[in-house]
Amino acid sequence: MNELLEKAKKIKCLICDVDGVLSDGLLHIDNHGNELKSFHVQDGMGLKLLMAAGIQVAIITTAQNNVVDHRMEQLGITHYYKGQVDKRNAYQHLKETLGLQDEEFAYIGDDLPDLPLIQQVGLGVAVGNAVPQVLEFADWRTERTGGRGAVRELCDLILNAQNKAELAITGYLKQ
């Protein structure tokens, strides 16, 4: 746990996947072909608290749809990379944009497209229901599953490791 907290202390940007991480991974498609997704409000609050504490949030996802676009807009996420089958290019662009090093990033994922970044960043995290290949290489596994509070669990870990929980709450309430 000490090594985990040491890694979390260095984080200046959290990167999240969407399907299976911010959403539960289930695709609901209506009879018109419209895709619907479920997002947990506690995950969204965790991301807002990170941002209120001065920690950057980014999304790198293979998904490309209006539902995700709308949710990212609701959350105020500006570092949003969609349609990224190979997520390494978006990550490199984000690193250059923010001027950060690998050890200053955390990434949370659930499946094979997430594996390269989980292995590269300073804190690679798997949601509780991630595939075995991701679990094998992650620094930490959340107790909660994707779309069910896993992201909030990680946000709380980062804020507590950096002693920024109170700052985050104060900053959020001033918005």
Identify the bridge partners of residue 56 per DSSP, sorted by sequence position.
13
C-alpha to C-alpha distances, 78 to 35, 69, 111, 128, nearest whole angstrom: 23, 11, 24, 27
Q: Are 165 and 44 in contact (CB under 8 A)?
A: no
Q: Are 37 and 23 in contact (CB under 8 A)?
A: yes
114 labelled as ligand-binding? Answer: no
What is residue 62's DSSP assignment?
Answer: S
Tokens representing 78 are 């500006």
111 labelled as ligand-binding? Answer: no
Residue linked to tokens 């959350």? 75
Beta strands at 13-16 and 105-109: parallel, antiparallel or unpaired: parallel
The 10 Å Cβ neighbour count of residue 106 is: 29
Range 28-32, long-range pairs (CB < 8 A, 24+ positions): none
17 labelled as ligand-binding? Answer: yes
Which residues contribute to the annotated binding site for substrate? 19
Which residues contribute to the annotated binding site for Mg(2+)? 17, 110
Which residues contribute to the annotated binding site? 17, 19, 110
